[in-house]
Amino acid sequence: MRSPLPSSLVRRSCALSFASLVMALSLSAADSWPDFRGPSQDGHAGSAGLPLSWSESENVKWKTEIPLLGLSSPVVMDNQVWLTTATEDGHDFHVLCVDATTGKIIADQKLFHSDNPQSLGNGAQDNSYATPSAVIESGRVYVHYGHFGTACLDTATKNVLWKREDLKCWHYRGASSSPVLFEDLLILTFDGADLQYLVALNKRTGETVWKTDRSVAWNDEDIDKQMVKEGDWRKAHSTPLIVSIDGKPVMCSTGAKAAYGYDPRTGKELWRVEHPAYSAAPRPVFYDGHFIIVTGFSKGAEMMSVRVGGHGVVTDTHVEWKIDKAFPKYSSPIVVDDLVYFALDDSFVVCVEAKTGAEVWRGRLNGKFRACPILADGKLFFFSLEGETTVIEPGRAFKVLATNHLATDAPLDDPRRGPGFMASPAVVGKAMFLRTRHHLYRIESP
């Protein structure tokens, strides 16, 4: 989850000054945050000039109330911010387009309706019916609500170009995995309690190009081939990461009981690393020929570094290091140079060696963390459920540069209703977009 751009227009007596201000606050076509983890899918923003400090009264260009409920991160392109939202009961599913310059909602479209939506169960405090983030490219935006539906819209006209409502699974605690664009494909992840598969759609038509089932042996069935008990045991929430290795694309996707390497063009499984965990949420990151993944929850859950390559089950041959205690359960890690940084669920940020997994330092922060950190202006930004952003200097010593607060007047018993961040930010130019429970902010220096 993430955030796009804000701006407030200050009136001046001369029309020329007003026009120049609008141009300064508008986004050029080259400026974009197309994926919930940015252009390179790893949380890195090449921006310069973000403010170091902000509050409700400082460096907020605009603040827009967002209707209904959603935890998806904003994506930004061509001066538009797109995000999803839904009714809390899961009956109606909307997409919003916000003008990045003014903060005005310029489109609010209901795309899908469900008469009998799947329950979010006791995971409702950590999920919503609009949690997967959109993905955007020039002229088109793609939105996904899990088995409730997937759609492609024209960003200029806001017309729906195609829809799919036939891709099913029982999400159990709701859908979370975001769509991924690759070449002419839109790749979706369905890791439900009943069905577990990835599917690639032709991004122009919505037609299925390939579909690949998870291959791990579940070993959780009775003699009638029925699951002994229902629940999270086959479920995951992670979004795949695609990188190019020796000129060939490799997609890493973390599921329950295994993390997989796939050819994203065909869906062919290249290798897998087996593990005992389930409900993995963090997106993998990549460092020097290795995917760094988090396997999820349960006894035996770990963070690990997997060397790319091999065929079949490579658990015993390609896992370079593991961390079995202090690792993130929700928020994705971020790699800067030869170090990996991540927020634990409660109150700490940790830095480890990317090559070995050895801990370099651990620092205390305030709050709990679900949103993914970003790197911008050579600084790390961590976003808490309590509405606090901590700015840290990357390096081998823990150094806090600033702590910023947005409104904290809402109760925290339900994180979705709290004031802070479950969505990850978006950064474009000198602006940062932050989505809280009720609002979208554009943070930017005057």
**pLDDT, tens digit, for every residue of 12-26?**
333 333 233 333 333
Determine, yes or no, domain membership for 156. yes
b/e map of 95-106 (b: 16 or more CB within 10 Å)? Answer: bbbbbbbbbebe
- pLDDT higher than threshold 60 for residue 91: yes
**pLDDT, tens digit, for every residue of 383-423?**
999 999 999 999 999 999 999 999 754 555 555 556 689 99
Take residue 32 and report the two structure tokens written for it.
């974009």
With H, G, I as helix, E, B as strand and everything else as coil, classify residue 83: strand
Alpha-carbon distance 175 to 148, whole Å? 9
**Number of folded domains in the chain?**
1
Determine, yes or no, domain membership for 3. no
> Given the structure tokens 């201000």, which residue do they identify?
21
Q: Report the candidate in 426, 429, 430 with the shortest Cα–Cα distance to residue 440.
A: 426
Determine, yes or no, domain membership for 2. no
With H, G, I as helix, E, B as strand and everything else as coil, classify residue 263: coil
Take residue 138 and report the two structure tokens written for it.
């020039």
pLDDT attached to residue 144:
99
Indicate which CATH number applies to the domain containing 99: 2.130.10.10
- pLDDT higher than threshold 90 for residue 80: yes
Alpha-carbon distance 256 to 234, whole Å? 5
With H, G, I as helix, E, B as strand and everything else as coil, classify residue 105: strand
pLDDT attached to residue 225:
59
Q: What are the phi and psi torsion angles at 23 (to 5°)?
A: -65, -40
CA separation (Å) from 70 to 33, 243, 339? 19, 29, 32
Determine, yes or no, domain membership for 8. no
- Which domain range does residue 243 map to? 15-443
pLDDT attached to residue 169:
95
pTM of structure? 0.91
Determine, yes or no, domain membership for 154. yes
Determine, yes or no, domain membership for 437. yes
Alpha helices in 226-353 (DSSP H): 315-318
Determine, yes or no, domain membership for 126. yes
Mean pLDDT of all residues in the chain? 90
Q: Report the candidate in 271, 263, 341 with the shortest Cα–Cα distance to residue 306.
A: 271
Percent of the chain with pLDDT over 70: 88
Q: Report the candidate in 226, 213, 111 with the shortest Cα–Cα distance to residue 169.
A: 213
Q: Report the candidate in 98, 74, 70 with the shortest Cα–Cα distance to residue 155.
A: 98
**pLDDT, tens digit, for every residue of 313-325?**
999 999 999 999 9
Alpha-carbon distance 320 to 305, whole Å? 5
Strand order in the sheet with 60-65: 60-65, 439-443, 431-435, 426-428
Q: What is the DSSP letter of 100?
A: T
**pLDDT, tens digit, for every residue of 160-177?**
999 999 999 999 999 999
Q: Report the candidate in 130, 159, 158, 160 with the shortest Cα–Cα distance to residue 145.
A: 130
**pLDDT, tens digit, for every residue of 46-72?**
877 999 999 999 999 999 999 999 999
Take residue 301 and report the two structure tokens written for it.
């859950």
Q: Are 68 and 74 in contact (CB under 8 A)?
A: no
Take residue 35 and report the two structure tokens written for it.
């994926």
* Adjacent-strand bridge partners of 360: none
Q: How confident is the model at residue 74 (pLDDT cuts 50, 70, 90)?
A: very high
Alpha-carbon distance 443 to 312, whole Å? 47
Determine, yes or no, domain membership for 9. no
- pLDDT higher than threshold 60 for residue 376: yes
